[in-house]
Homo-oligomer: A and B are copies of this chain.
Amino acid sequence: MLVQKYKDMLGGKSVIRELSEFATARGKEIGYENVFDYSLGNPSVAVPKEFNDAIIKALQTMSGQAVHGYSPSLGITSVREKVAASLEKRFGIPYRAEHIFMTSAAASALAHAFRLVTQPGDEILTFAPFFPEYHPYVDLTGATLKVVPPNFVDFQINFDKTAEMMTEKVMAVMINTPNNPTGVVYSEDTLKKLADLMTEKSKQYGHPIYLITDEPYREIVFGGKQAPCVSKYYDNTIMCYSFSKSLSVPGERIGYLAVNPKAEGAEFMVPMCGQISRGIGHNCPSSVIQLAMAEVLDLTSDLSVYETNMNLIYNELVDLGIEVVKPDGTFYIFPKAPEADAKAFSKKALAYDLVLVPADTFGAPGYFRMAYCIDTEKVERSLPALRKFIKETY
C-alpha cells in the first residue's frame, strides 16, 4: 500500500509555492517584468564564466571514465583535498580530505548530518525564524525539530528560551547563519554564548551535543565583512555548505559536509556518511560538477547586487515607518507587517503586484520575507508600488 504519511503531505501547499504560482500566472497577464516577485530564493546573478569553462575543459581534455566515471562514495579525492585546503586557508582550521564529504548540496549534507548524530525520538533544536523545510528534513528522519522562539530585537538567539529547551533529548542544535529569512549574521558574541551553553549542557547530560551549521549564504555578507566561522567557536561542529548561492548554481546540487577535525569522533564521521548514503540513495554529486567546482573554489558570482538591492529596500521600508532589522547578508529582508495578520497583509499586497511572503511558517507570525535576488532595475520599479500599497492601506 502507498505509505500514508507521504500521501498526507500532498495536501499542504507551501505558501511560498502558492505565491510563486500566483506570480507566474499574473506574469502571463501583465508581463512577468511587471510582477514584483519577492517570493523565491533563486539566485539571479550570473554564474562565473570560469565554472562553465571548467566543465567544458574537463569534457574536452579528460577521458570519459575520468570525467563521467563513478566517484568514490565520499567524493572525488582530489576534490575533497582542494575543499579542505581552501577551508584551512580561509578559516585556519586544519581540515583534511578525511573531514570532507561531498554532497548533493546543503539539503543532502543536512540529511547526512541528522542521521550521524540523532536517532528516532531524539530532538534537534533550531531557532525561529527558520527555513520551514527544516521541519520535513528533520521530522521525516524520526527525530523531532524543536524551535526556539525568536529574539525579535535583533534576530540573534533568544538564550533564555534556548537554555530551557536544551533538554537531555537534544542531540544536535542547528543554526543557519547568515540567516534565511532574516538576513542576520550571528555575531561572535552569539556564537560564543551558544558554544558555552552547549558545552555546559553536554557535560551535564554526559553526551556531546553537536552543532549543525547550515551555511549556504556564507559568502553573501554586506559591508565588506565576513561571517564569523562557526566551527571556530565549538569543536563539535558539522558544517553543511552549498555552492548554490555563491556560484548561482542551485540546480547543480553541489556542496559538502565538513567535520571539525577536533569533533568527538571526527575520524569516524565522514566514513559513516558513506554508510548513511547507502540507506538514502545518495551517491555523490555529479562527477563533472565536482571537478569543475574544485577549479573555482575561491570564486563567487558577483554578489554585490544583493547589497545594492538590500539598501534600496531597507531605506524605503524605514522611510515608510516599517519596523525592520537591517540584514547583514543573504538576499532576504524580514520586516514586521504593519498589521498583526501578515497573511492578510500579503494578500492585500498582491493587488499592487507585490509578492511578499508572510512568515507564519518561518516561526515569526506578523512578519514577512522579501527575497531580493532579482534585478536592481526591478527593485527600483517596485518601490513606488510598495509605497503606494502602504500609504493607501495603513
Contact = CB atoms under 8 A, between A and B. Distances in A.
Interface of A: 1-3, 6-7, 9-10, 42-44, 46-47, 52, 55-56, 59-60, 64-65, 67-71, 103-105, 107-112, 115-119, 133, 136-137, 139-141, 171, 207-208, 248-254, 264-265, 268-269, 271-272, 275-276, 278-289
A119 B140 CA distance: 12
A289 to B, nearest CB: 5
B42 A69 contact: yes
Given A111-B280, A140-B278, 13 more contacts: A2-B264, A7-B272, A52-B59, A55-B59, A65-B248, A68-B252, A70-B251, A71-B251, A104-B283, A107-B281, A253-B286, A254-B286, A286-B286
A281 B282 contact: yes
B251 A2 contact: no
A173 to B, nearest CB: 14
B70 A42 contact: yes
Given A42-B65, A68-B250, A208 B269 contact: no
Contacts of A47: 64, 68
A285 B1 contact: no
9 contacts: A1-B207, A6-B115, A7-B272, A10-B271, A10-B275, A68-B250, A136-B279, A140-B280, A286-B289
Contacts of A56: 56, 59
Question: Which residue, A67, A68, A110, has most C-beta atoms of chain B within 10 A?
Answer: A68
B286 A251 contact: yes
Contact of A252 (B119, B208, B286): B286
A6 B55 contact: no
Given A3-B117, A268-B10, A281-B282, A275 B111 contact: no
A165 to B, nearest CB: 19
B65 A1 contact: no
Contacts of A254: 286
Given A2-B116, A250-B69, A137 B278 contact: yes
A3 to B, nearest CB: 6
Nearest to A269: B2
Q: Which of A6, A119, A254 has the most CB of B within 10 A?
A: A6
- Listed from nearest, the 5 A-B pairs whose CB atoms lie closest are A111-B281, A140-B279, A251-B287, A108-B281, A136-B278
Nearest to A59: B52
Contacts of A52: 59-60
Nearest to A244: B70
A336 B110 CA distance: 44
Given A115-B3, A116-B2, A104 B68 contact: no
Contact of A117 (B2, B42, B64, B137): B2
A279 B115 contact: no
A283 B108 contact: yes
Looking at A59, A207, A276, A279, the one whose CB has the most chain B CB atoms below 10 A away is A279
A277 B342 CA distance: 29
A70 B3 contact: no
A116 B251 contact: no
A282 B281 CA distance: 8
Contacts of A252: 68, 286-288
A213 to B, nearest CB: 16
A282 to B, nearest CB: 7
A237 to B, nearest CB: 14
